[in-house]
Structure 1
Amino acid sequence: MKKSPLVILLLTVMLDLIGFGIVLPLLPTYAKDLGASPFMIGLIAAIFSIMQFIFSPLWGKLSDKIGRRPVMLISIFVTALSYLIFSQSDTILLLIFARGLSGVGSANIAAAQAYITDVTDSKSRSGAMGMIGAAFGVGFIIGPLVGGLLKHNYGIEMVGYVASALIFFDFILAVFFLPESNKQAKKFHIGMFSGKSEASGSANSSSSSFLKEKITEYVDGLKLTFSSKPLALLMIANYIFTFAIVNMQVASILLWKEYFLASDQEIGYIFAYVGFFSVIVQGGLIRQLIKKLGEHKLFLWGHIFTFAGVFFVPFIPQDTLFTYGLLILLCFAIGTSLVAPINLSMISLYSYKQKQGQILGLSQSVNSFARIMGPFSGSVLYGMNFHAPYIVAGLLTIIGTFIAFALFKYKIEALEPVAEAESI
């Protein structure tokens, strides 16, 4: 196995996520400065996830046809263009368009994961996939720091320019150093994005049936999942936990800015602080804890820590954001870093044999739906009362805690009804 293509791929993913992290913490307050209503702020936050949900499987499927390299190149270029448009977004409609276009480009994660499966064997694949998770953490440490510094000192235009330049550098790296990994794909030559019409035509002709196909897969996946009580509980926990976190993320940025009077630069520090401890937990500590305590106990404690990390945020005194607030956010970083990966791990462990891919795919879809709906809820609730998003998030994590308790009665190794799964 050649390691260099994987290194270049992970570098491009990390640069992409740093660009994402530069812009993300500034969006809600900038949208509000443009006159956006709570609903519109929710839409601006959600449009990225909506486009990712639509285009992620399309990019993945297209990469099977024409190759990973052209899909990665085109999507990276689209992302760089979106940040350039963002730098000039002086109206709400233009800001929505820029974020939607960014979601289209950043949906290349499916193609990136497919690239990893092409260049790794079964033994090294999990580690390589884990590196993508680490790239997310690095992006959320470096990106917000840079974004807050740029916005504070040079304005929103410079934020867009730097993010665009970073992603365009990512594009140049991929052009020169990222080889094609899918040897079975139809040839697709990229000079200035010119390709064989046969490949693109084939992709376009299948697009009409793709939606029906995905709906059928989704319904079948739900039937399969809800035929098992622990799987059903985990899938419900996945949705409500993701919804709870996204529900309060948009509200948090507004709260830090308006109630705690934090600057854009200080908000960047907060994001980097949470990202730093998330990387520590997910980068190795979680494996040791699983060996010592097991998935069930960690899943429970993750929800308890997360409750402490979301519910109490708006109730601390205004001048304690960087004292009591940091302690609460430490709980948030620990809790979310435990719950999300353990939920995915437990879904995999409880899944029917030979059906893991389908069930894990459904889990990603459920997660995406929560990321689409959460920003609307958080923005509207914040507009009603700034305590509301955190109270709702806290209540949802309590429900997740009860689900975690309920899962203790189901032994992981006892769940293997393969024949039942096949009959559904």
Structure 2
Amino acid sequence: MEVWKRNLIVCWFGIFIASVGMSQIAPVLPLYIKHLGVTDTASIAQLSGLAFGITYIISAIFSPIWGQAADKYGRKPMLLRASLGMAVVIFCMGFAQNVYELIGLRLLMGAITGYSTACTTLIATQTDKAHAGEALGTLSTASIAGSLLGPMIGGYIAESLGFQPVFFITGALLLVSFITTALFIKESFIREDKKTLKFKEVWNSVPEKSLTITMFVTFFVLTVALYSVEPIVTVYITELSGNTSHVALLAGLAFSASGLATIIAAPRLGRLSDKIGVHKVMLVALVAAGLIFIPQAFVQNHWQLMGLRFLLGLTTAGLIPSVNILIKKITPQNLTGRVFGFTMSAGYLGIFGGAVLGGQVAAYFGIRSVFFITSALLLINAVWVYFKVYKKLNILQN
């Protein structure tokens, strides 16, 4: 088997496991926090948001550091570091004695993550040009598949075996990923001693600063919107169903509904973007997503919530890919990697901001208020995108 194919298979497996591990914990966190002794609903919502979001705020800080280390020492060492570190930390979460230990471990996990980024960089640099598109396209499905199946797997394990086995099984799977990476990943790494551009130097070289800033903010708002409901979905479903015997599984299905829709819609919206313009798809998707959040505040049962989250997934399928396409179009080739790195930092900050926002709003104003505030953020961002992106690109296109 060719080296690039073997690397692709191992990286796909590793990203899939990492995505499953990260996403299957999300619907279990509120229940696990309650298991650790927190009984007040408002406190559970607040602490769930903090525990979920803290991982990503730390990831935003450490991502550039690990990226620089990968350039210095190679991508395989970063893969080994991330997979083994995550395996140990997630396994230890199963032994947490209180919510503060859990939050501390989630913080540590944010500092050591980076498996997916290292995999993408490895495949991009080690695969020949004739197969690079095929390899990177295949690799991208691993994260989506893992995020789709993770919540359902986590909910099923929690319901069948209890909360702690979710962490133990996830840690064991990441350990398997570490072993397969160590045995089968081959990297031809040659260190290049090049001057590292500082942020100011990179920014001064960006030609479309206004559009780039708009994309950073849009990506931030998108992740805030998508993750504002993460801490409260499980609690919301508990309120809607009135039956706590299958909450973990139902929450997992609710989390996965939008992911399934995104997988279905993303290729079709991508082709539509090529035909009519990515800025048009982005604007319509932003407005649609903002409107779909509103009825989620009025649902009467968990099936209605799942249906609306599926519709939300159809709209979000046209958002994050659109941001990435526009950034690639307006960014010089030699700066693409660094600018995408800044975009990812904006995304990580958005995940943290969304998780904390959702938890705090739910605690002080009620769970249903989260959907209204999230809707308002998306619709305000849509207005900004209309004036800063849509009108400008529409004129250029015509």
State the TM bucket, normalised to the shorter chain: 0.7 to 0.9
Match in the other structure for 1:27: 29
SS at match of 2:97: coil
On the 8 A contact 2:202/2:335 being kept in 1, the answer is: no
Q: In terms of mean alpha carbon deviation, does 334-343 or 132-141 score higher?
A: 132-141
Check if 1:164 corresponds to 2:171.
yes
On the 8 A contact 2:258/2:311 being kept in 1, the answer is: no
Structure 1 residues 273 and 181: CA distance shift in structure 2, 3 A: farther
Instruction: Indicate which of 338, 350, 362 corresponds to 1:382.
Output: 362
Match in the other structure for 2:74: 67
On the 8 A contact 2:61/2:345 being kept in 1, the answer is: no
Instruction: Indicate which of 285, 290, 294 corresponds to 2:273.
Output: 290
On the 8 A contact 1:222/1:362 being kept in 2, the answer is: no
Correspondence 1:106-145 to 2 at 5 A:
106-122=113-129, 124-145=131-152
Structure 1 residues 109 and 140: CA distance shift in structure 2, 3 A: closer
Match in the other structure for 1:327: 307
Q: In terms of mean alpha carbon deviation, does 64-73 or 348-357 score higher?
A: 348-357
Q: CA deviation at 1:251?
A: 2.3
Instruction: Indicate which of 146, 161, 183 corresponds to 1:154.
Output: 161
Instruction: Indicate which of 270, 287, 297 corresponds to 1:304.
Output: 287
SS at match of 2:28: helix
Q: RMSD between aligned alpha carbons?
A: 2.7
Structure 1 residues 331 and 347: CA distance shift in structure 2, 3 A: same
Instruction: Indicate which of 231, 247, 255 corresponds to 1:263.
Output: 247
Q: What TM-score do you get using the length of structure 2 for normalisation?
A: 0.87
Match in the other structure for 1:364: 344
Q: CA deviation at 1:185?
A: 8.2
On the 8 A contact 1:59/1:71 being kept in 2, the answer is: yes
Instruction: Indicate which of 233, 240, 245 corresponds to 2:226.
Output: 245
Paired letter, 2:292 = G
Structure 1 residues 183 and 225: CA distance shift in structure 2, 3 A: closer
CA offsets 1:118-149 (integer angstroms, 9 cap, x no match): 21234543443333431111102221121111
SS at match of 1:25: coil
**Distance (Å, rounded) in 1 between the aligned partners of 2:8 and 2:355:** 34
Q: CA deviation at 1:281?
A: 2.1
Q: In terms of mean alpha carbon deviation, does 172-181 or 99-108 score higher?
A: 99-108
Match in the other structure for 1:397: 378
On the 8 A contact 1:18/1:139 being kept in 2, the answer is: yes
Instruction: Indicate which of 245, 257, 278 corresponds to 1:273.
Output: 257
Structure 1 residues 405 and 123: CA distance shift in structure 2, 3 A: farther
Q: CA deviation at 1:167?
A: 1.0
SS at match of 1:179: coil
Structure 1 residues 393 and 411: CA distance shift in structure 2, 3 A: same
On the 8 A contact 2:45/2:231 being kept in 1, the answer is: no
Q: CA deviation at 1:156?
A: 0.7
On the 8 A contact 1:25/1:144 being kept in 2, the answer is: yes
Q: In terms of mean alpha carbon deviation, does 103-112 or 91-100 score higher?
A: 103-112
Any gaps of 5 or more consecutive residues in structure 2?
none
CA offsets 1:345-383 (integer angstroms, 9 cap, x no match): 112223356443343332222222222222211101000
Instruction: Indicate which of 297, 302, 312 corresponds to 1:314.
Output: 297
Match in the other structure for 2:7: 5
SS at match of 2:27: helix
**Distance (Å, rounded) in 2 between the aligned partners of 1:170 and 1:138:** 16
SS at match of 2:367: coil
Paired letter, 1:167 = L
CA offsets 1:249-289 (integer angstroms, 9 cap, x no match): 2222321233444610111122232222222223x223322
Check if 1:411 corresponds to 2:390.
no
Structure 1 residues 229 and 185: CA distance shift in structure 2, 3 A: closer
Paired letter, 2:72 = K
Paired letter, 2:317 = S
**Distance (Å, rounded) in 2 between the aligned partners of 1:390 and 1:220:** 40
Q: In terms of mean alpha carbon deviation, does 1-10 or 88-97 score higher?
A: 1-10
SS at match of 2:96: coil
Any gaps of 5 or more consecutive residues in structure 1?
187-212, 416-424
CA offsets 1:142-161 (integer angstroms, 9 cap, x no match): 21121111111211111111
On the 8 A contact 1:60/1:108 being kept in 2, the answer is: no
On the 8 A contact 2:279/2:393 being kept in 1, the answer is: no
Match in the other structure for 1:199: none
Structure 1 residues 403 and 64: CA distance shift in structure 2, 3 A: same
Q: What TM-score do you get using the length of structure 1 for normalisation?
A: 0.82
Structure 1 residues 363 and 394: CA distance shift in structure 2, 3 A: same
- Of all paired residues, the percent bearing the same amino acid is 20
Paired letter, 1:253 = T
Structure 1 residues 181 and 46: CA distance shift in structure 2, 3 A: farther
Paired letter, 2:360 = V
Match in the other structure for 1:419: none
On the 8 A contact 1:80/1:168 being kept in 2, the answer is: yes
Paired letter, 2:121 = A
Q: CA deviation at 1:293?
A: 3.0
Q: In terms of mean alpha carbon deviation, does 238-247 or 147-156 score higher?
A: 238-247
On the 8 A contact 2:297/2:369 being kept in 1, the answer is: no
**Distance (Å, rounded) in 2 between the aligned partners of 1:398 and 1:336:** 14
**Distance (Å, rounded) in 1 between the aligned partners of 2:323 and 2:27:** 26
What is the count of residue pairs matched by the alignment? 383
**Distance (Å, rounded) in 1 between the aligned partners of 2:182 and 2:211:** 45
Q: CA deviation at 1:73?
A: 1.2
SS at match of 1:263: helix
Q: CA deviation at 1:339?
A: 0.6
**Distance (Å, rounded) in 2 between the aligned partners of 1:412 and 1:4:** 44
**Distance (Å, rounded) in 2 between the aligned partners of 1:55 and 1:399:** 30
